[in-house]
Amino acid sequence: MKVLDTKFMQGFIKMADDGFRLGWHERNGGNLSYRMTPHEVDSVKERLSDHAPWTPIGAHVPGLGGEYFLVTGSGKFFRNVPVDPEACLCIIELDEAGENYRIRWGLVEGGRPTSELPSHLMNHEVKKAMTNGLHRVIYHAHPTNTIALTFVLPLTDEVFTRELWEMATECPVVFPEGVGVIGWMVPGGEAIGIETSKKMQEYNVAVWAHHGVFCSGSTFDETFGLMHTVEKSAEILCKVLAITPNKLNTIQPDEFRQLAKDFHVELPEKFLYEK
């Protein structure tokens, strides 16, 4: 089967295009990665090249040894993914030690995988272990309103989660575990990847202050929907704060507890503090 004809490739391209159309991927901003299933790898194996050299990942991810990933390329624009996916995307294979990768398909005009590859792979390793392999998508975007909030809210998991939860009743149902927040760090290296993977041990959303958001999920729809819900809540909060810094009405802790009971989710008590 041709790589571009596969369902996983079409889902990947659609997600990249959806994110661009929502304004989350200016220029070459953001990146996306997908851990392929063995069946998907087998379906395109005859289309994969083995001529590219092995290259250090910049991180050690032994839990992903031998795995294949579809990822966006470094410096590539999301707006061009639907137009020329073979130039913007690549399939990479990791060695058995999880220390090196090689390009097996794509980036036909040259280049390398996203500069955030260490962060993506460290997050994939954590989520693969924690979800028994169910999570396969890691998505990094630059949603405007969520980034804006990192300039005005305390950079704590508790405050960020509670404020986002209060903006829309669906939020505690969509991300009941809350969101993690990381203070500003230089992107693209192992250090920020380590800090993000620590947050991913507890959450499916990690906010990078003054930069963007990382989300993890089992499917393209689930992961994109998570990012979309967080950003919609952030947009409402930005509008509320533009009107007044003091909310006249909001969802109270006991109301969150009732919501959790009715929707069969567990909400950590650390987020249900009295204001």
What would the pLDDT profile of 133-163 be if each residue is shown by its tens digit? Answer: 999 999 999 999 999 999 999 999 999 999 9
Q: pLDDT by residue (tens digit) across 185-212?
A: 998 878 888 899 999 999 999 999 999 9
Q: pLDDT by residue (tens digit) across 69-92?
A: 999 999 999 999 999 999 999 999
Quote the tokens at residue 96: 């058995």
Classify residue 12 as exposed, middle or buried by CB count within 10 Å of its CB (0-12, 13-18, 19+).
buried
Classify residue 244 as exposed, middle or buried by CB count within 10 Å of its CB (0-12, 13-18, 19+).
exposed
pLDDT at 153: 98
Q: Which residues pair with 182 in a beta bridge?
A: 208
Contact 21, 79 (CB under 8 A): no
Collapsing DSSP to helix, strand or coil, 198 comes out as helix
On the question of pLDDT at 99 being above 90, the answer is yes
Out of 40, 67, 93, 116, pick the active-site residue.
116
Give CA separation, 22 vs 1, 17, 78, 141, 142, in Å. Answer: 32, 9, 11, 10, 10
pTM: 0.95
What are the start-end ranges of the H helices in the chain? 7-21, 38-44, 85-88, 117-130, 144-149, 157-167, 171-174, 190-200, 220-243, 253-263
pLDDT at 187: 87
pLDDT at 190: 83
pLDDT at 33: 98
Does residue 116 have an active-site annotation? yes
